[in-house]
Structure 1
């Protein structure tokens, strides 16, 4: 649920008999479908829809990672999990202790004139929402890499300009200088290194 570019759906499809990836964003759906075709993963179905827009058949395991609106207290998605998951549910939310997301704590004051609000309560919020359903899940905290690759420094600038809602030559020049010093040069491109922490909240139904 909320498959994005397929960070979980693609590796799962290489190991499981069948995977359904639900994603509402058209650009992400297009990228995911390209990856499915390139990988020959005909057992992965991509559903271009938001939760609730299309009926879904029950699945053995339901996975939802980092989709905040679906994992809040009172969210219809949580209430309907019992009818959607036949065996298990796995939810993933950010936990405190990871790296600064996309250098925002440095870039927001310089380019937006304000601090970037780092939200650290996502995992606790999701866990509380699950427990209000009468579920006592297993909780495992993990640390993992979430590095962001870019083909060029200009592509990286495009990403940050869009993500931060910036326009004009001034902010772009600042980003070009900043990212040129902070990104890692890799064979064939650039890499923004990020270490993340998350809580995996799981239970059997």
Structure 2
């Protein structure tokens, strides 16, 4: 088999499904159904404001712009974007995320944000969206097994540019899983697809995108080690006292004191990919 014979969309789907099976997380949106987890996600984003600034400041925003934010979560980008453009449509399927986004928008006095409560795969652009949009974006929300079909729909919804944000290499949170999964579960952790696969999917579609890479710190704060164990215990599928001891020992060696908090931080490579839709119609 040569490089040209590889079906990169199938490669993406295979890696995605193996990662989901390994984590036992099912649908990507299902873990964000609770308001508590959605609010925690928004607070985490506020603890790492560089990511939000990096994304928003890098977009060609105008007062008259229309923006589509796919997988908008609790509105970490959609709400501040609405303060700078004419209108924003946020696509978000998780009930908890939508509830927190609505609260966040109300707090900020945002009235030009509309929310489509569906998975991107289930969105009908003609019926559900008010397009076309100058900017269509998916910021670290590419939990879509059929990524090619998802991108084709993004292109159709845009009259200007499409922006995708994803990861290169091992992320900070994945490293812990790689370290602990064999001891916790007796098998290697299966990482999800990264930007190398995504770029090849785009190239196979006839899209040669712009690429920008940045190293950015990711930080989690906890009041004590018990809170850290409780948080990561859910992510790491900890079920037994022995597994909890293993996780606790690992975190004790990774957490550092910062004032009254314990902090877990590391550098993650983040990638912005964008292109003009004229090149993908």
On whether the aligned pair clears a TM of 0.5, the verdict is yes
User: Residue 159 and residue 146 in structure 1: after superposition, are their counterparts in 2 closer, same or farther (change >3 A)?
Assistant: same
> Could you tell me how far apart the structure 2 residues matched to 1:37 and 1:102 are?
37
After superposition, the Cα gap between the structure-2 partners of 1:48 and 1:94, relative to the gap in structure 1 and judged at 3 Å, is same
Tell me the residue number matched to 1:47: 116
Match in the other structure for 1:92: 165
> Do the aligned partners of 1:147 and 1:193 also contact (CA within 8 Å) in 2?
yes
Deviation digits for residues 64-110 of structure 1 (CA, Å, limit 9, x no counterpart): 1333454855x322122232012111012211265462512222122
- RMSD of aligned residue pairs (Cα, Å): 2.8
Q: Deviations over 1:109-157 (max 9, x none)?
A: 22222222345x5212211222233222111112222323445533322
User: 1:202 maps to which residue?
Assistant: 274
Partner of 1:2: 71
Asked if the contact 1:139/1:202 (under 8 Å) is kept, the reply is yes
Separation (CA, whole Å) in 1 of partners of 2:104 and 2:256: 25
- For structure 1, the residue ranges without an aligned partner over 5 or more in a row are none
Question: What secondary structure does 1:16 align onto?
Answer: coil
The residue number in structure 2 matching 1:113 is: 186
1:135 aligned onto 2:207: yes
Which of the residues 229, 253, 264 maps onto 1:157?
Answer: 229
Q: Count how many residue pairs are aligned between Structure 1 and Structure 2.
A: 203
Q: Does structure 2 conserve the Cα–Cα contact (< 8 Å) formed by 1:184 and 1:191? A: yes
Q: Secondary structure at the match of 1:200?
A: strand
TM normalised by structure 2 equals 0.61
1:161-184 deviation per Cα after TM superposition (whole angstroms, max 9, x unaligned): 221222133323433343233223
Residue 28 (1) aligns with residue 97 (2):
yes
Which segments of 5 or more consecutive residues in structure 2 lack a partner in the other structure?
1-69
Any idea what SS the aligned residue of 2:120 has?
Answer: coil
Match of 2:136 among 40, 62, 71: 62
Cα 1:193–1:17, aligned 2, differ >3 Å: closer, same or farther? farther
Decide which of 76, 91, 105 is 2:149's aligned counterpart: 76
1:192 paired residue number? 264
Deviates more, 1:153-162 or 1:6-15: 6-15
Structure 1 length normalisation: TM-score? 0.80
Larger helix proportion, structure 1 or 2?
A: 2
Return 141-150 or 32-41, whichever deviates more.
32-41
